[in-house]
Each structure stands twice: as structure tokens, then as C-alpha cells.
Structure 1
Amino acid sequence: MSSSVIQLECQCNNYPWGKKGKQSLAAQFAASTPGGHFKLDESKEYAEMWCGTYPTTPSLVLSSGEDLQKHLNANKEKLIGKPILEKFGTDLPYLPKILSIAKALPLQIHPDKDLAARLHKKEPSKFSDENHKPEIAVALSKFEVFVGFKPLLDIQGLFTSIPILKSRFTNESQTHFNAETLKGIVGKILSASDEEIVEVYETLRRTNKGAFGKYTYIPELLPRLAEQYDKSDPGNLVALLTMNFMVLNKGDAIYVPADGIHAYLSGDIVECMARSDNVLNTGFCPRADRDSIETFTSALTFSPASPNEALLSPQPSPKGKHGHTQVLAPPMSEFNMLVTNLGAGEREVLEPLGGPGVMLVTGGKGKMIAEGKERDVREGWVFFVGVGTELEFVGDDDGGLEFHLAFCET
């Protein structure tokens, strides 16, 4: 009979935007697993540690090396539970990750279900599933991110008051911007030649800071982004001129809907998304890696439309019996996330969940008691938690314990 609490061995990938060597929290976490096979190489970038069952980077049962999905398939009613099986099947409907970001990720959207199905049918080797991919990102450190679009009036102000933006990307007679205007502007920027983008970039660099109004960070960030990729990358202009730029602190969270434009810039985060690996990229990447501009712009959603709309606020969770647990509940059915913080010697009891969970220990160390057994837990370790399992935690006397637990209930 399988235990309901299973320690996992998780894998890292090596995208070039990741932090190098032990500077990467994702790599530190992967290397911390006792008896695991991950070997940290100081010469490599480590971008993401995946903690789930998606087949490209699956987690393993630490004690046996068995693929977690195979183990769940063999013990599905005990570990997943009938309600979740009936709604989602045996595949975990969500995928948690640790991301360590040294430079901007590609400017991207994750397609909604209808678009994902069409893309998968047309190009299954590139778009490997038919699912949507709304996601949350929770800061573990200072986290810089571009997400969603600025308020339309603010974008209108920039593109009608700065001469080169008005002449290159707008209809001179248009004074009132709407969603279609914004789609057109984004499309024109993404379609511009390298030479045109460089000319606009250089002109903006020479433009008086006051011309950008309250967005004084635009001229400050222009050279930083250009150094990461190139002056000719259209992502520089789309991100800075049309998107919200946010600087989050540890514990802050955002929600990105399907078709929501975003580009993470720096920091360490816990990310969790619906089970998918589909993405459309159009900037902050080589031209050869960019997807169809028409597909990208036609799919764009205009939510969130301000920084405040992007924020996902934690709420006290009744699942924590001693008041040390909050819940992040995005507007989607695939998962919620519990965040528990314990000081030295503090205790928390989590009531049994109505579906499967994946727990990432993101700080400190302590004890976990489940099924009558006490286990050590410490930063970087990852556990699968089966449906209906009560968990008790005690923070270590030398500094406490923090963990993030993604779970699904009907």
C-alpha cells in the first residue's frame, strides 16, 4: 500500500535566462534532495525546477526512482480521489515550479483552450497539449515582472505625445485608443524591422525623461533590456511602453490569465499553472524563435489592465487550524495554493485536502507528522500529498518553516 505522503526528486532545466550555478534557487533546491541524482554545475544556467507529472520534466518518487505519474496511475483512488479523477483524470491538473530568473523571459502569452487545441492539431511537436495555461507567480525574493497592459489612457498619452511613437505606430488622426488600437500598435512594433526598432530605441534614449510622465522607469530600463538581448528586440518597446512593470516583494503574488501578455524580468518565484507547456513568444528572444505575430496579437486579452488588477491577494485559510496558513485562490478550477509560515517552535495542522497536493518547502526546516509518522522537512524538499491526508507541522527552533502547497479540490 502506497504512503499518502511521498518525497519527490525533481528536475531542473537550463534555459539561458536562468541564474548560473548555485546562484540559482531552483538548482539549490534540486541539489538539496537527499539521495537525489542532481549534480549542480557552476558553469550552467538553471532556470526552472518542475514539481509535477508533466512528461517533459517529470518528478520521480525519491525512494524508488519511479515516475510519479506512473505511481499515481497505480494508486489513483487512494492518492488522487474519485472526485478529481472524474473531473480531471489521473494526470495532476496543475504544475508547480521554482523559477530563478537572471534576465527577461521571452515576451509571451499562454494560449486559451480553443487556441491551444488548434495549435496542437496543426503543430503537435511544438504545442504538446490542448490545454490552457493560466498561472500564478509568488515572489520568494524581489521579483520584477512585466504583466498585462497599462491603462489605455496612459498608453494613449505616451503614443500621442512622443513624436516618434505617434508617427511610427499610430494613425495620426486617432485620438481615442481602444483594445483594437492597442492590438494594432503591438502588431506594428513586433512587425517592425530591426533598423526601425533601433531608431525608435535610440530616439527614446535621447528623449527628455519628463516626456514619459509617471513612467520614469522607461528610459532607465531601456539600456538594461537592450543589454540582455539587443537594441533591435521589439520586446523592449512592447514591454516598456504598453505593459505594467511591477516590482514585488517576498510573499506578493500575481495572476496571469490565459492569453495574458507577460515577461518575468528577475527574481526567484514559486510558479503554478494549469497542466500545459504551450507558449507563444514574440520578443526577448532571437527572431528565429518568435512565433506568428498575427496569432499572438489576435489572441491577446486585456486583463489585467493595471498593476492592481494583476495582484493576487492571499486570504486566511480555514484549512490551517492554528492560523498560520493563507490561501492564494486564482479564478480557475485547477488549483489553489496554501502558504504556511511558522516561527520557531510554532505549530500548524492542515485539515485533510479534498484532492492531491504538491508541497514545496521554500524556507527553513522543521517536522511534518502524517499517517502517524514524523518526518524531517527542510528548504528545497518537495512532497506529494495524497487526498484526505491530515498534516501537522512544527517549525524548527532555529528559525521556523515556510512552505507552499498547491492542491486541487472539486
Structure 2
Amino acid sequence: MWMGTYPSVPSRVYSTGKLLSEHLKDNPELVGDSVCNRYGPDIPFLPKVLSFAKALPLQIHPDKDLAERLHAKNPEKFGDANHKPEIAIALSRFELFVGFKPLGQISELLRLKPLQKLLPAHEKLDDNALRKVCETLLTLSPEAVSNTITELQNISLSEFGDSENVPSLLERLSKQYSSFDNGSLVAALLMNYLVLEPGEAVCVPADGIHAWLSGDILECMARSDNVLNTGFCPRADRDDIELFTQSLTFKPHGPEESILQSKKSSIGVKGRSIEFAPPFSEFNVLAVALSPTEVEKHSVLGSPSILVVTQGSGKMTVGDGTVHEIGLGSVYFTAKDAELEFSTKTGLILYRAYATF
């Protein structure tokens, strides 16, 4: 479920059917001068709710420079010139691959006999060598991929050291995408496997390698739909491997670096709001979790926002006194000057992404 003004899956105003993008063009005061001066009368971020039971494609989202070049060269495939850093907040148990493991952990794996050919014995593993290893794994023939997976699964578990989950992950991924998919080797051998519980979040920078494995999440990203896919998808749909690997960033480099910690937000007057603030400028995300009979009030943000209810039901009272009945799946655009109060008799969880500068 996409929310916002991105043209490929645009939101509409429920009461009129009018595109939200057109409504904002006709009423730019709803987003305010600060957003208009920088982005135009638009929403500079794109929230989504995703639900998946098998791995989504192994991918990166191009940074600003690469996005501009790809869009100029092939605007049909790369529909905008913007970068796409993103965050993902778990709504249920969320399994994912994100970023690269620490170099030491990967080095230990590359000493295993089936993988020794990936890195010459005299070469030290650094990020440049890791780039080559990643490219090699992505360009292996289907038969070589399958043989490597089989050989790894025949090795004693004790030889995997801190990466003892590799054989089970390879088995699981092979069942989903066959034993011939290069993405299985890259994800299981090189990437951090994480499990997040509801309310926990990760941050993926532009050019950051990732693949979501299972769960339900709220994503929020810069307003873009550019992506390079190289695994967990048909070979015919895969993008240029050399372009993919040359574009990679090696931050984060370890599981802890990917986690985006929340903090208590001063926007929540009653103290029941937390905030996810990624290290880029387009947006932050507020999270409100209310128990029965609890109330929260948000002071004026000064920028436009989009909120979605992910659990429970309740009421949202706007500053002018208008009351909205809200529940699971309710989505609202809120203008820059909106003052909101939330209440519930049964419990309520909602997320509110808003523009930052």
C-alpha cells in the first residue's frame, strides 16, 4: 500500500476522488513555503505498508548522482532523478538481510573450501576486495551457484563459526528461489541477517544492499521508485551486475549499524509519541501507541504529513474541532498547521511521517 503523490501509485482524496497531488497544487498553503521552495507543492517522501512471506529482490536504491544519470539515460525504467534512502519499521516479526557483515566474519567464511576461490590467499579482505567477491558471486553460472550451495551444506556446522545460520538460510532461500539463484549466496554469506520485533526499525542508505525476507512493515523513503535488482528474481529481470557492485556502499558494516533507534518526541504533548529520525533530510516518522482510554496530542508540525493506522481504532480530533473515526488502514494527509489529538477506548497504533528540512 503506497501513500502520497508518487505518480505510479498516487493517492486520492477520499471525499472527492481527486488526486492528492492535484489537490496540493491547487492548495499549496497546505504544505507551506518551506516545502514548496524546496520540493514544490508536493510530498517529499513516500510511505508504504508491505507484507511478504518470501524474500523480496536483492537490491540497492541509487544515490542522487547515479539516479540522475540513470534517469537521463533511461527515463522509462528509472522514472525519477531522486535518491531513495529509506527506513523500515516492523509491524510484525520482521526478518531481513541488510548491509554487509563485519569483514572479519566474512573472512572466516571465505576460508571454507568451497569459497576459497573467491579471494586469493595473498589478498586481504577490505571493502574493495569485498566488492569483487560480491560481483563474483552474482556472476556465477546457475550450476556453479547450485554446486557451491550443496558443498556448503555438506560442511560440518562447527566450521561456520559465528555464521552457523548460513546452511539453514541457504536451504530456506533455495526452496524459495531454487538452488540456482545467486542472491542466496550473497545474502547468506555476505549480509547481516536480522530479526526485528514490532516497533523496531532499520535504516538503509542510498546504495545500501538489502533484501526483506518475511514480515509486515511500514517503509518510508525519499520520493523515488528507482531500484537495481540482482537476486531473488528471474535472471531476465536482473540489472547490470557491474553497475550494481560499483554503486555499493559499505556502510552499514555490521548488524548494529543498521538499527535505527527511536527517541521520545517532544511533538507528543502527552508523552506517548516516539520518533524515528534517519540521517537524511526528507522526513521523520512519529509512532503513537495508545492503550485503552489513553490520549495523545500532537503540536503543530509546520510541515505536511501522512498518517496511517496500523492497529486498533479510536478518534482523531483536529484543531478546528472536527472529529474523525479512525481504525486499521485509515490514511490521512494532514496540512502543515494541523493540530491533532488521538483517543481510543480499545487501543490504537499509528505512524505519522512528516517532512523535514
**TM-score calculated relative to the size of structure 2:** 0.99
Matching residue of 1:66: 18
Query: Is 1:390 the counterpart of 2:339 in the alignment?
Result: yes
Matching residue of 2:114: 164
Q: Where in structure 1 do 4 or more consecutive aligned residues deviate above 2 Å?
A: none
CA distance in 1, matches of 2:76, 2:226: 11
CA distance in 2, matches of 1:186, 1:409: 35
CA distance in 2, matches of 1:189, 1:374: 56
RMSD: 0.8
Matching residue of 1:51: 3
Matching residue of 2:78: 127
Q: 1:316 aligns with which of 257, 264, 279?
A: 264
Matching residue of 1:184: 132
CA displacement at 1:409 relative to structure 2: 2.9
- The 3-state SS of whatever aligns with 2:251 is coil
Query: Is 1:217 the counterpart of 2:165 in the alignment?
Result: yes
List aligned pairs for 1:68-217, cutoff 5 A.
68-77=20-29, 79-160=30-111, 162-167=112-117, 169-174=118-123, 176-217=124-165
Query: Is 1:241 the counterpart of 2:189 in the alignment?
Result: yes
8 Å CA contact retained: 2:61, 2:83: yes
Q: Which runs of 5+ in 1 are unaligned?
A: 1-48
Q: 1:333 aligns with which of 281, 291, 307?
A: 281
CA distance in 2, matches of 1:91, 1:230: 42
CA displacement at 1:144 relative to structure 2: 0.2
- The 3-state SS of whatever aligns with 1:153 is helix
Tell me the amino acid that sits aligned with residue 75 of structure 1: N
- The 3-state SS of whatever aligns with 2:180 is coil
Query: Is 1:355 the counterpart of 2:297 in the alignment?
Result: no
- The 3-state SS of whatever aligns with 1:403 is strand
Matching residue of 1:304: 252
CA distance in 2, matches of 1:409, 1:156: 40
Query: Is 1:253 the counterpart of 2:201 in the alignment?
Result: yes
CA distance in 1, matches of 2:324, 2:232: 43
Tell me the amino acid that sits aligned with residue 266 of structure 1: S
Matching residue of 2:291: 343
CA distance in 1, matches of 2:41, 2:27: 10
Q: 2:347 aligns with which of 387, 400, 407?
A: 400
Tell me the amino acid that sits aligned with residue 7 of structure 2: P
Tell me the amino acid that sits aligned with residue 372 of structure 1: G
Q: 1:288 aligns with which of 236, 250, 255?
A: 236
Q: Which runs of 5+ in 2 are unaligned?
A: none
8 Å CA contact retained: 2:276, 2:285: yes
CA distance in 2, matches of 1:105, 1:298: 22
CA distance in 1, matches of 2:160, 2:20: 51
Matching residue of 1:5: none
8 Å CA contact retained: 1:353, 1:409: no
- The 3-state SS of whatever aligns with 1:214 is helix
CA offsets per residue over residues 191-225 of structure 1, 9 Å max, x none?
11111111101101111111111222111111110
8 Å CA contact retained: 1:354, 1:409: no
CA distance in 2, matches of 1:226, 1:354: 49
- The 3-state SS of whatever aligns with 1:61 is coil
Tell me the amino acid that sits aligned with residue 178 of structure 1: D
**TM-score calculated relative to the size of structure 1:** 0.86
CA displacement at 1:90 relative to structure 2: 1.7
Tell me the amino acid that sits aligned with residue 252 of structure 1: E
CA distance in 1, matches of 2:20, 2:159: 54
Matching residue of 1:23: none
Query: Is 1:374 the counterpart of 2:326 in the alignment?
Result: no
CA displacement at 1:87 relative to structure 2: 1.4
Between 350-359 and 214-223, the greater mean CA deviation after superposition = 214-223
